[in-house]
Amino acid sequence: MGTCCGSSQGTFDGMSRDYRRRLWLVIALNAGMFIVEMVAGQAAGSKSLQADALDFFGDAATYGISLAVIGASVKARSLAALAKGSSLLLMGIWVAASTLYQLFVLGVPQAAVMGSIGFLALAANLASVMLLVRYKDGDANVRSVWLCSRNDAIGNVAVMLAALGVWGTATAWPDLVVAGLMASLFVSSSVQILRQALAEYRLSTVPVIPTVR
């Protein structure tokens, strides 16, 4: 769902007090919005709201893991990024599966709830993006934080568009389409994180051959 300086490859590895403070703030924002959106999504019968709530949960977990491994070895940070990339992939699969299930369930989600909660979530995500934008480039651990934040902002705009579509068509299809697109976004982001994390892990396991003078 950030980066700076200090890793062995010259990319930001999170070693900054300012970065830690910003992560704590976005953890609080994302954990709070996960609860709000999951409850609202269940009440409104909206799969896209529930998908976005999962994205908030994934971000909060991602930021927590990122904080835990700051200052650790490149190998430890890359393993953490691999875990986060895998969790994003699992979320994408869950959203896709629940969207397919919704196709066989009659009922139109409540557009008013989707729109109002989507607007609140968008405000929270924009705040997170602004807090982390200066740290958007770095190692796989830091980059995963930025990608999760970006996904949240995109997801909230999508939920609001879905709410407009549901209101205009009086059908659930706009909600289902947005949920499917968000599932694709999760999978795409997970692939990016996993590729970078695997590359960093391989480099961290290459033995350093001392030079002979």
Average model confidence (pLDDT) for the chain?
74
Report the pLDDT value the prediction gives residue 28, as an integer from 0 to 100: 92
CB 139 within 8 A of CB 69: no
**pLDDT score of 116:** 74
Residue 196 or residue 29, greater confidence: 29
CA–CA dist 72, 33 (Å, integer): 29
Give the global pTM: 0.60
Contact 48, 159 (CB under 8 A): yes
Q: Of 193, 196, 186, 192, whose CA–CA distance to 56 is shortest?
A: 186
Q: Are 66 and 145 in contact (CB under 8 A)?
A: yes
Per-residue model confidence (pLDDT) at position 172: 72
**Which domains does the chain carry?**
17-202 (1.20.1510.10)
**In terms of Cα–Cα distance, which of 213, 169, 211, 202 is closest to 82?**
202
Using DSSP, state whether 122 is helix, strand or coil: helix
pLDDT of residue 89 exceeding 60, the answer is yes
Give the pLDDT score at 38: 86
Confirm if 138 and 4 have CB atoms less than 8 A apart: yes
d(CA 41, CA 58): 16
Q: Per-residue pLDDT for 5 more than 50?
A: no
What span, in angstroms and rounded, lies between the C-alpha atoms of 51 and 30? 14
CA nearest to 48, candidates 107, 133, 109, 136: 109
- Measured over the CA atoms of residue 20, residue 185, residue 159 and residue 157, the dihedral's sign is positive
Q: Which of 66-75, 106-115, 134-143, 199-208 has the lowest mean pLDDT?
A: 106-115
Counting residues of the chain whose pLDDT is more than 70, the rounded percentage is 77
Q: How far apart are CA 53 and CA 32, in angstroms?
A: 10
pLDDT digits (tens, 9 = 90+) for 19-68: 888 889 989 988 998 898 888 878 777 766 777 787 778 778 778 887 88
